[in-house]
A and B are shown apart, each in its own frame.
Chain A
Amino acid sequence: MTFTKLLASAALVAGMATAAFADGDDKTKLGFVFVGPVGDGGWTYEHNVARLAVEEEFGDKVETVFVESVAEGPDSERVMTQMALDGADLIFTTSFGYMDPTINVAAKFPDVKFEHATGYKRADNVSTYGARFYEGRAVQGHIAGKMTKSNTVGYIGSYPIPEVIRGINSAFIHARKANPDVQFKIVWAYTWFDPAKEADAAKVLIEQGADVILQHTDSTAPQAAAQEAGNVITFGQASDMAQYAPKPRVSSIIDNWAPYYIERTKAVMDGTWESKDTWGGIGTGMVGIGDITDAVPADVKAEAEALRDSIGSGEYQPFTGPLKKKDGSDWLAEGENPDDQALLQMNFYVEGIQDDIPQ
């Protein structure tokens, strides 16, 4: 036996010993990779609430670990690899930018299950899940269109990806329906979470005349900026952000991941887990609309709630033709709805938005 063979077999034995040890542990181990801090009061906060709900549900039978503020890119790959090596059975990667790292790591650990939020790449051991936030955006757009006095709505985007563009389009379509004169001003912050940048973006939009601010970034900094400016309304993003109610925050989109996380954890425990794509909306409860405060007139509130309910029941879809693209070409014919694939790849603005999507 050569020296290298000896080493290799020693490593193998050590590896088997660890594997046996891991198997002897009957706890299901869950890993969570978060893009922001769990105290961001928005996106990551809600994922963490769902993590705690899983712990609550299964008690001793699960063990969860999380790593927060993980940069999208190579750093996240390292974190996921470490979690997999530490014996995680199921890993939730909760940001769009973790898509390729998740696929890469999943290929190396075929026995570990992965759940990637808001992405579109799947594998045998990688599921994707997301929420139809654009349904909530429709409700926000309606309120924004009704409430704006300057006819200028500011929108803080994170990255120009389909998820965000879908939200802008949905909000814009319904703002226009409520108020044909409304204009959108869109500023890209190029971050999911950077309170300083988000506050600056909100201030600039307010200085340029916006009296409604929609945000697709995760911190409460735009809410603080709006509060300071006075006559500006905002919407909670990802989480209720109720500390800014009743004004500036007049409503919110709340992500509710807990039922999904519990269901998938159960599936891993039962051995029934399989790769699939889940896209829940208002109807399934994955997207919640936060309480609409009294700063909104009663009739507008009633209309917004009716819109919410009709989307929830499936009676109405936020993207319903006739709709044109920004360049004037036809997109949807009268009464037509796009399929999910078209929604997932949306990379254009609808007619009426004046800005261009940065390339």
Chain B
Amino acid sequence: MDLSSINPLLFIAGFFVAATPLIFAAIGELVAERAGVLNLGVEGMMIMGAICGFATAVETGSPLLGFVAAAVGGAVLSLLFAFLTQIMLANQVASGLSLTLFGLGFSALLGQNYIGIKPPRLGDVDFGPLGDIPVIGPILLSHDIIVYLGIALVFGVWAVLKFTRAGLVLRAVGENHDAAHALGYKVVRIRTLAIMFGGACAGVGGAYISLIRVPQWTEGMTAGVGWIALALVVFASWRPLRVLLGAYLFGGLVQLQLNLQGVGVAIPVEYLAMSPYVITIVVLVVLSRDANRAPGSLGRIFHASQ
């Protein structure tokens, strides 16, 4: 075994790329859950974003337009979920699961003509001379704009939830929708907006996989990232900044496994594949000794008459 052939700079830089789809999907889901909506359709919205973004980028030649289309695609699909759970008052768990299955199938249909095509490439951000700084340059300053956008988004969500009136209202709706309703807040409208935000973020996360990380379209290519994102929200105990931490941890595990194989340490791949979930379970057990951190109205159906 020779660990020296792992280049630590490239290894750590790889974390950022591996974590970005997770960050987007998880921060979107976090906002939805803080508003009291449990949307298990993350995987479906991601894959919809992946194909919408891919198709748009190929047709227009612009990766950035692709990401915009991915956000729209994810948000439109999430509207279906919003309609089912907020208007029709359907069960959120069942609706979310069906959203995932629907998204996987529908994206495969949309993507029929895009298999095997190369998308246009999104270049890395040019930091000029800053990029040449040793260690920090290759690790932090050698990525595309979406990586930085993801990190900024996490801090943005954190600030909004913590310091603004809008964030307070959103949290109020999530903690106790009856009280929020009594105070005159439009619970359904706020939740619908939160669901759409979650859908748009998941879409961008999915497009990051199809446009940058792979970059290619194949059906089912998100391959469980959406589920890891759901686990990540719980792991982060619904705090935005912990999402960032968890995403690097989970993303790093994937990188670690391949790097170790490359230098000849054969850890059965199953261990690392299940590790995000094992960590989440452990964290859940630890958290359960604490006060219950989940938003009070999470997953509960709201109707103004009840």
Contacts and interface: CB of A to CB of B under 8 A. Distances in A.
Interface in B1-44: 5-7, 10-11, 14, 18
A208 B213 contact: no
Nearest to A356: B266
A358 B209 contact: no
Given A41-B115, A188-B269, A208-B7, A219 B216 contact: yes
Interface string B257-276: 01101111010110000000
A355 B6 CA distance: 15
B304 interface: no
B286 interface: no
Given A40-B115, A205-B262, A354-B264, A219 B10 contact: no
A355 B268 CA distance: 14
A193 B268 CA distance: 19
Contacts of B258: 187, 200-201, 204
B223 to A, nearest CB: 6
Contacts of A187: 258, 261-262
A37 B5 contact: no
Contact of B221 (A39, A196, A224, A354): A196
B291 interface: no
A200 B266 contact: no
A49 to B, nearest CB: 13
B223 A196 contact: yes
B264 A355 contact: yes
B190 interface: no
Contacts of A40: 115-116, 218
Contacts of A185: 262-264
B175 interface: no
B56 to A, nearest CB: 19
Contacts, number: 91
Contacts of B209: 196
Contacts of B178: none
B223 A194 contact: yes
B213 to A, nearest CB: 6
Nearest to B121: A228
Contact of B216 (A190, A197, A220): A220
Contacts of B264: 185, 354-356
Task: From A193, A194, A195, name the one whose CB has the most chain B CB atoms within 10 angstroms.
Answer: A195
A199 interface: yes
Interface residues of A, number: 35
B193 interface: no
B14 A188 contact: no
Interface string A210-225: 0000000001110010
Contacts of A219: 216, 218
A321 interface: no
Given A200-B258, A208-B259, A195 B115 contact: no
A41 B10 CA distance: 30
A188 B5 CA distance: 18
A96 B6 CA distance: 33
Task: From A199, A207, A220, A356, name the one whose CB has the most chain B CB atoms within 10 angstroms.
Answer: A207
A209 interface: yes
B215 A203 contact: no
B182 interface: no
B142 interface: no
Grouping DSSP codes into helix (H, G, I), strand (E, B) and loop, the B interface class, with mixed when no group exceeds half, is loop
A243 B116 contact: yes
Interface string B182-218: 0000000000000000000000000001000111101
Contacts of A292: none
B83 to A, nearest CB: 30
A220 B116 CA distance: 7
A320 interface: no
Contacts of A231: none
A195 B14 contact: no
B254 interface: yes
Contacts of A201: 258
Contact of A37 (B7, B121, B218): B218
A224 B116 CA distance: 11
A197 B264 CA distance: 18
A243 B268 CA distance: 34
A204 B264 CA distance: 13
A69 interface: yes
Given A195-B221, A356-B266, A203 B14 contact: yes
Contacts of B215: 199, 224
A193 B218 contact: yes
B299 to A, nearest CB: 30
B255 A204 contact: yes
A69 B219 CA distance: 9
B9 to A, nearest CB: 9
B303 interface: no
Interface string B219-232: 11111000000000
A51 B10 CA distance: 44
A112 interface: no
B293 interface: no
Contact of B213 (A69, A199, A355): A199
B162 interface: no
In the complex, the 5 A-B pairs of residues with the closest C-beta atoms, listed nearest first: A39-B115, A204-B258, A207-B10, A41-B116, A187-B261
29 contacts: A37-B219, A40-B115, A40-B218, A41-B115, A154-B262, A185-B262, A193-B218, A194-B221, A194-B223, A195-B214, A195-B216, A195-B221, A196-B209, A196-B213, A196-B223, A197-B223, A199-B214, A200-B255, A204-B258, A204-B259, A207-B6, A207-B7, A207-B10, A208-B7, A208-B263, A224-B214, A243-B116, A354-B264, A358-B268
Interface of B: 5-7, 10-11, 14, 18, 112, 115-116, 118, 121, 209, 213-216, 218-223, 254-255, 258-259, 261-264, 266, 268-269
Given A196-B223, A220-B116, A224-B214, 14 more contacts: A39-B115, A39-B218, A69-B219, A185-B264, A187-B261, A200-B213, A200-B255, A200-B258, A207-B10, A207-B14, A208-B5, A208-B259, A208-B262, A224-B118
